[in-house]
Structure 1
């Protein structure tokens, strides 16, 4: 893969990477000293130029950084989710200090996501068992959605600003609809049991994954089929679900990772393609099988691994797609202090 561009985050172990929604030449990385166990965090704003990847700006925090999100309303601003429970809004044109600090979570803030539709709110999830909705202009949150246990990831539906999802330690994918009344469920409209046994019959030649509940670490909405969500976690299996059928089991299953799946992301360029990052030090490219011909009587389709990237030498913790260009550029980060930009289409040939 000659087209792979490297960058080292010296002294800091990355946890997340995101391409700018405005520029194909700008990415940001959230990182932590000492693998996030103790010490500072550093937010890296990186630019891609004729000399490779260069540092445009860094912002240091007193605690680890676990996730980040670019603002959808200001091309120079981005959020960092911190280990002390805070979320900090930085502006690349303002030195050192955050322009806003949001601090209600009682434990580590592990995920942040900016609303892609109305662009006027963002969501955060925490180990304290809550998801919070925020306006960037207010220090106090707009809403708190109780999950009840450590919540690793929250996301907005890509087409509906009122629908928010979350995954957590209890093996459930939760869907919230903010238009529903605030009753005892706090806008919770469905709980999908991710580790429900797969439908029968299972495709010939495939062994079904164990149906034991385990922690879900990551999930993402399909950009083209806005009722489809992919999940991944400790049991090493990627599953897709259609939220219109919350009790119907997975629509697709993808197996191949040898350790926990830490991050996955659907392609913004194709409806069936996703990429995953794992503690097995690999990044893998998949099709969920939705564009393939139906094979046999099984009600769901097994996904297919299209390729593998194994350049990282430690846990791979983050992956993101570039929204622009030919459609294959991704950024990956790992605990080996490395950022790689590369073209995922190079994996199609195996």
Structure 2
């Protein structure tokens, strides 16, 4: 399987932390970024159109502290939530970028991840923070609906199950993966000792509600079956430095991608004897953000501290047809 860089988009004077595809428009992505590698200065949310000329930027939203993650609303086009180093969350209408619609101020330390549920019966999103908590939010309310506690260190990421309503997975510096039922309890319903170091990222398989992957500072990616959590069902090795984010393909059950501090983006198929399908070496700094398009099969975006976003097309074996969304720059 080949993956080709088809376009590079700049994030001038800002280092990319997170990139996401819009659920409503196949051509739109958003990037959460920070000045000075997130150590000082402000943050910027950049919305880019892959069909637009130049750097593709169609709007920007400015915040006084670095922005570490974002999530698109699954209900309202043009609405995005961002997570900031000052612990606050911001709800933006990206067509009116002067100021956020609402600011949520409950986390006591850096807010580090966001995810909007994609199940049918709710409009909620979750945030996780270096204060060790995960919070459930209704975007129309200033106060959180629920605070989930149980991790013994900072929480790097919390993500909704795409299959089970009210189910959230989270990973932490305490080396664990935890599963939560937001409808019943504020304590985890399952805890798995996941990695041999801090766990930085997790993602659910899109085709099997029991399979979830984790990765972190031990440079490995682990697959877990929640019905038999004692041992991983697969281990992927190849990254030379910590794995910052992983994402399952939305169109293939056993394939996933990862980005790392080793400056690479990698494509994997854990069902194969040699699971490493492609190694992309297009960045010159840590690669932080990663997402797949749910509209265009094989369309992948990443972002890095080298102040750029990469757009790639992942080709199936034997497919060398034309690529979408412009040529490499």
Q: Does 1:33 align with 2:41?
A: no
- 2:316 and 2:301 map into 1 onto residues whose CA distance is 14
Per-residue deviation, 1:220: 0.4
Per-residue deviation, 1:241: 0.3
**Alignment of structure 1 residues 55-66 onto 2, 5 Å:** 55-66=57-68
- 1:169 and 1:8 map into 2 onto residues whose CA distance is 31
Q: Who is 1:143 aligned against?
A: 146
Contact between 2:152 and 2:174, CA under 8 Å: does it hold in 1?
no
| CA shift in 2, pair 1:347/1:167, >3 Å | farther
Match of 2:183 among 162, 179, 184: 179
| CA shift in 2, pair 1:346/1:96, >3 Å | farther
- 1:241 and 1:343 map into 2 onto residues whose CA distance is 28
- 1:348 and 1:235 map into 2 onto residues whose CA distance is 34
| CA shift in 2, pair 1:347/1:231, >3 Å | farther
Q: Which runs of 5+ in 2 are unaligned?
A: 320-329
Runs of 4+ in 1 over 4 A off after TM superposition: 346-349
Q: Does 1:284 align with 2:266?
A: yes
- 1:346 and 1:52 map into 2 onto residues whose CA distance is 29
CA deviation profile, 1:308-338 (whole Å, cap 9, x unmatched): 100111100011001112x111001000001
Q: Who is 1:189 aligned against?
A: 189
Per-residue deviation, 1:179: 3.4
TM-score normalised per structure 2: 0.92
Per-residue deviation, 1:346: 7.2
- Partner of 1:35: helix, strand, or coil? helix
Q: Who is 1:20 aligned against?
A: 22
| CA shift in 2, pair 1:231/1:119, >3 Å | same
Q: Which runs of 5+ in 1 are unaligned?
A: 196-212, 293-301
Q: Who is 2:126 aligned against?
A: 123
Q: Aligned pairs, how many?
A: 315
| CA shift in 2, pair 1:27/1:33, >3 Å | same
| CA shift in 2, pair 1:244/1:62, >3 Å | same
TM-score normalised per structure 1: 0.87
Contact between 1:5 and 1:52, CA under 8 Å: does it hold in 2?
no
Per-residue deviation, 1:347: 8.7
Per-residue deviation, 1:345: 2.2
Match of 1:163 among 163, 167, 176: 167
Per-residue deviation, 1:178: 2.4
Per-residue deviation, 1:51: 2.6
Structure whose CA Rg is larger: 1
Contact between 2:4 and 2:314, CA under 8 Å: does it hold in 1?
no
Larger RCO: 1 or 2 (CA < 8 Å, sep 6+): 2
Per-residue deviation, 1:189: 0.7
Taking only aligned residues, the RMSD between alpha carbons, in angstroms, comes to 1.7
Per-residue deviation, 1:2: 6.5
Per-residue deviation, 1:177: 1.3
CA deviation profile, 1:160-184 (whole Å, cap 9, x unmatched): 121111100011100011233x4xx
CA deviation profile, 1:41-100 (whole Å, cap 9, x unmatched): 000000111536411100010000000000000111001100000000100222310001
Per-residue deviation, 1:344: 2.1
| CA shift in 2, pair 1:190/1:3, >3 Å | closer
CA deviation profile, 1:246-291 (whole Å, cap 9, x unmatched): 2x210111000000000110000110110000000000000111xx
